[in-house]
């Protein structure tokens, strides 16, 4: 092989050091190129090995230039236009190639085919494999393929082409065709592992510039496979429910015993195939201008006020700080004065004297105002933070939202004051400046479901080679152990079961005949008054006595839309759990009083605030 250095003229610079100066005559003496072959990306699969992202061979219809490359500009144009006309006849589609791009490609990279049509349909490929006119060829490349379509689109993400180098003269180790790189989701996070190792192709020329040899010196090595924690069947079910029941929302389901995310669904979603090999300007503008923002993964990149779901965590703070006992009771009036303001309960009638279980079941705001004033900000903040609220979970997806649990320091910086009684009242029912992502909410519920272990939330189980050899593994890891007392666990469970099962509860639509569900609804407003929106929540775990799943559902209301957690979010989880537990044996028949309570739930839930 003749090296580039031996085929260059060297001229002295004014400073006396040599300057490499290529010329047309010396370029003709180049006898070989070594070019890089992009490697196929590794697969992304669900927990059971179902492929969510893999590769396929894509064929481009390309112009092959004769060697040696000694056309004039006019000859280049005439040659390409003739092949372009042939391609139009063969494909029946409009093909318009830029004269400038064709000329530039010929001058800089003429030994590589020039693409006229990318990603041909299979019918055309099969026809063209039987023969093409001289000067036209099929060029095979690897492209990304998402066999499940939009399933988990935000989690899997998508790839894009690396920037081309057609404006630069071909150099050794340049790519035979553009490589792809992760742009979103796991494709982006694990881009280095998925990419694989480039291969090498040698092209040999004689002195006149004719190609005399083409060999693959080093075959490309596929990238590693990424095995996620997702359950594709459950993810698909969640997305169907979201599509049916809301325009904007999210559902998250976790395994409370190890921190694995089984479902991370946002609606509307995207189809990563739209980005292969590149997304059209028309399609991108449609996605970008959609008022429902399909490019936004709401499950982990949007944070919302928690509403009355936060009452569960206030209960944890009360029992664990020993400032609340199971027998403690507060009144549940329709309204109460706090400072200079009147704070209302969502229900206009007096609820009487209630303990924690009853107050949580009925979601009495005025009861929790009193508990919040008794606990103070530091106690509520401490336990909310220990449950992972208001900070990133650390899931391996870029752009995760922090959320927010307002601290006293935050209040001083933002409002130039400490917590006031009114702030504590708002805090105790999940209003004010609290912001929580659906993923954080599910993580907190998982922590309660397992008795107090805050696991590192995981979306990936392991990274492995094509042959199944494990390269990296992401094992369960406890970030914090809260050591929740038995009283705390029992009171929370009973209160949350009451939310679903009791006549006075707010989530009867999530009740199952064969499994007991523990949960809490929430309804919170946010945004300026003129464009105020509502976040409707339902979060919890099931079965209540031996939790297998922790969950959070979020319904994002439109401007001015009146929705509630019990009427909008709880039915989504009800639909999900009924399918998940459909094979579980039916529970024993309930007594008459329970049956009467169940009969009245739908009626009672029509007016509820949460």
Query: E-strand spans in 64-182?
Result: 114-117, 136-145, 159-161, 180-182
Taken in order of first residue, the domains within the chain and their CATH numbers are 232-605 (3.40.710.10)
> What per-residue confidence (pLDDT) applies to 253?
99
Q: Are 263 and 238 in contact (CB under 8 A)?
A: yes
Query: How is 186-208 classified by DSSP, letter by letter?
Result: HHHHTHHHHH-B-EEEEEEE-TT
Count of Cβ atoms closer than 10 Å to residue 14 Cβ = 6
> What per-residue confidence (pLDDT) applies to 598?
40
- pLDDT class of 14 with cuts at 50, 70, 90: very low
pLDDT of 208 higher than 60:
yes
In this structure, which long-range contacts are made by residues 418-426, counting pairs with CB atoms below 8 Å and at least 24 apart in sequence?
419/376, 419/377, 420/339, 421/338, 421/339, 421/373, 422/338, 422/339, 422/341, 422/343, 423/377, 424/369, 424/372, 424/373, 424/375, 424/376, 424/377, 424/380, 425/338, 425/343, 425/369, 425/372, 425/373
pLDDT of 189 higher than 60:
yes
Return all residues near 308 (Cβ < 8 A) that are at least 6 apart: 363, 365, 429, 430, 520, 521, 522, 523, 524, 537, 565, 609, 610
> What per-residue confidence (pLDDT) applies to 587?
67
H helix runs in 307-452, sequence order = 310-320, 356-362, 365-375, 377-386, 408-415, 421-428, 438-449
> What per-residue confidence (pLDDT) applies to 589?
59
Average pLDDT score over residue span 274-285: 90
Q: What is the pLDDT of residues 583-604, one digit of tens each?
A: 998 866 555 444 444 433 333 3
Q: What is the pLDDT of residues 381-428, one digit of tens each?
A: 999 999 999 999 999 999 999 999 999 999 999 999 999 999 999 999
Q: Are 201 and 215 in contact (CB under 8 A)?
A: yes
DSSP structural state of residue 173: T
Range with the lowest mean pLDDT among 9-23, 216-230, 377-391?
Answer: 9-23
Measure the CA dihedral 242/243/245/251, to 10°: 0
- Whether the ω angle into residue 253 lies within 30 degrees of 0, i.e. cis, is no
> What per-residue confidence (pLDDT) applies to 17?
34
pLDDT of 263 higher than 80:
yes
> What per-residue confidence (pLDDT) applies to 278?
85
- Residue 321's Cβ-count burial label (10 Å; 0-12, 13-18, 19+) is middle
- The phi and psi torsions of 148 (rounded to 5 degrees) equal -95, 10
Q: Are 259 and 394 in contact (CB under 8 A)?
A: no
Q: What is the pLDDT of residues 327-375, one digit of tens each?
A: 999 999 999 999 889 999 988 888 899 999 999 999 999 999 999 999 9
């Amino acid at each position: 092989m003749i090296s580039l250095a031996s085929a260059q003229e060297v001229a002295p610079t004014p400073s006396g050091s040599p300057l490499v100066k290529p010329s047309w005559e010396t370029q003709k003496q180049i006898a070989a190129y070594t070019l890089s072959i992009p490697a196929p990306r590794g697969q992304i699969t669900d927990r059971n090995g179902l492929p969510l992202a893999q590769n396929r061979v894509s064929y481009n219809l390309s112009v092959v230039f004769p060697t040696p490359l000694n056309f004039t500009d006019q000859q280049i144009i005439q040659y390409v236009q003739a092949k372009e006309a042939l391609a139009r006849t063969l494909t029946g589609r409009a093909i318009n190639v830029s004269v400038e791009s064709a000329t530039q490609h010929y001058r800089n990279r003429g030994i590589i085919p020039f693409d006229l049509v990318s990603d041909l349909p299979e019918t055309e490929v099969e026809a063209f494999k039987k023969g093409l006119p001289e000067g036209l060829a099929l060029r095979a490349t690897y492209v990304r393929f998402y066999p499940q379509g939009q399933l988990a689109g935000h989690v899997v993400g998508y790839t894009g082409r690396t920037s081309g180098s057609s404006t630069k003269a071909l150099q050794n180790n340049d790519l035979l065709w553009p490589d792809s790189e992760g742009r979103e989701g796991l494709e982006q996070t694990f881009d280095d592992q998925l990419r694989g190792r480039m291969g090498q192709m040698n092209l040999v020329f004689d002195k006149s510039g004719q190609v005399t040899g083409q060999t693959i010196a080093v075959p490309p090595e596929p990238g590693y496979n990424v095995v996620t924690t997702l359950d594709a069947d459950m993810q698909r079910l969640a997305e169907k429910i979201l599509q049916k029941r809301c325009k904007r929302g999210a559902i998250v389901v976790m395994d409370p015993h190890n921190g694995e995310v089984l479902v991370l669904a946002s609606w509307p979603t995207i189809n990563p195939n739209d980005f292969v090999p590149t997304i059209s300007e028309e399609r991108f503008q449609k996605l970008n201008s959609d008022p429902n923002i399909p490019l936004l993964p709401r499950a982990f990149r949007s944070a919302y006020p928690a509403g009355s779901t936060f009452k569960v965590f206030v209960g944890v703070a009360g029992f664990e700080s020993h400032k609340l006992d199971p027998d403690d009771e507060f009144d549940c009036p329709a309204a109460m004065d706090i400072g200079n303001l009147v704070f209302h309960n969502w229900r206009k009638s007096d609820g009487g004297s209630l303990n924690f279980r009853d107050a949580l079941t009925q979601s009495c705001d005025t009861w929790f105002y009193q508990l919040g004033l008794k606990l103070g900000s530091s106690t509520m903040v401490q336990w909310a933070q220990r449950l992972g609220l208001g900070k990133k979970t650390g899931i391996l997806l870029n752009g995760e939202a922090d959320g927010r649990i307002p601290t006293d320091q935050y209040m001083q910086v933002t409002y130039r004051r400490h917590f006031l009684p009114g702030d504590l009242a708002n805090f105790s029912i999940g209003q004010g400046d609290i912001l929580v992502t659906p993923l954080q909410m599910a993580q907190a519920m998982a922590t309660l479901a397992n008795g107090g272990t805050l696991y590192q939330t995981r979306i990936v189980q392991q990274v492995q080679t094509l042959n199944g050899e494990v390269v990296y593994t992401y094992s369960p890891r406890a970030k914090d152990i809260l050591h929740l007392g038995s009283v705390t666990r029992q009171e929370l469970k009973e209160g949350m079961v009451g939310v679903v099962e009791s006549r006075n509860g707010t989530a009867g639509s999530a009740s199952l005949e064969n499994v007991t569900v523990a949960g809490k609804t929430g309804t919170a407003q946010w945004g300026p008054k003129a464009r105020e929106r509502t976040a409707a929540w339902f979060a919890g775990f099931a079965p209540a006595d031996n939790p297998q799943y922790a969950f959070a559902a979020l319904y994002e209301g439109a401007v001015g839309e009146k929705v509630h957690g019990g009427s909008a979010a709880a039915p989504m989880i009800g639909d999900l759990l009924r399918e998940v537990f459909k094979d579980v044996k039916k529970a024993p028949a309930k007594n008459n009083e329970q049956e009467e309570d169940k009969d009245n739930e739908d009626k009672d839930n029509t007016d509820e605030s949460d």
